[in-house]
């Protein structure tokens, strides 16, 4: 559910393509995890999860800031109906 919302908000023009790419990355990472799990110790697994936690958080912050900036830019360019009603 969250993936569909993020794809729609971040890239509204290509939301289906972005969603399918994210599912492709998720599937391929699942295959890698299933293949490497027998060879990894718990400490290596914990380090890998921590690294990807920071990468995911950093990516989320970047997308959230870009989306907020785009919304501010569009709200200035296209005033809402309430703002137009106040001017009348």
Q: Do the domain assignments include residue 58?
A: yes
Mean pLDDT of 35-43: 92
**Of residues 15, 20, 6, the one with CA closest to residue 67:** 6
Cα 34 to Cα 32: distance, rounded to the nearest angstrom: 5
Mean pLDDT of 34-41: 91
Q: What is the pTM of this model?
A: 0.63
Q: Do the domain assignments include residue 23?
A: no
Q: Do the domain assignments include residue 67?
A: yes
Mean pLDDT of 10-27: 83
- Could you give the number of structural domains in the chain? 1
Rg (CA), the chain: 20
Q: What integer pLDDT is reported at residue 82 of this predicted model?
A: 55
Q: Do the domain assignments include residue 25?
A: no
Q: State the residue range of the domain holding 52.
A: 41-74
Q: Do the domain assignments include residue 28?
A: no
Mean pLDDT of the chain: 81
Whether pLDDT at 69 is above 70: yes
Q: What integer pLDDT is reported at residue 78 of this predicted model?
A: 59
Q: Do the domain assignments include residue 63?
A: yes
């Amino acid at each position: 559910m969250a993936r569909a919302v993020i794809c729609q908000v971040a890239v509204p023009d290509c939301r289906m393509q972005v969603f399918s790419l994210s599912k492709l990355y998720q599937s391929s990472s699942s295959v890698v995890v299933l293949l490497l799990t027998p060879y990894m110790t718990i400490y290596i697994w914990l380090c890998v999860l921590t690294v990807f936690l920071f990468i995911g958080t950093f990516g989320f912050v970047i997308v959230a800031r870009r989306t907020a900036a785009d919304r501010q830019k569009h709200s200035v360019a296209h005033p809402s109906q309430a703002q137009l009603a106040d001017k009348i």
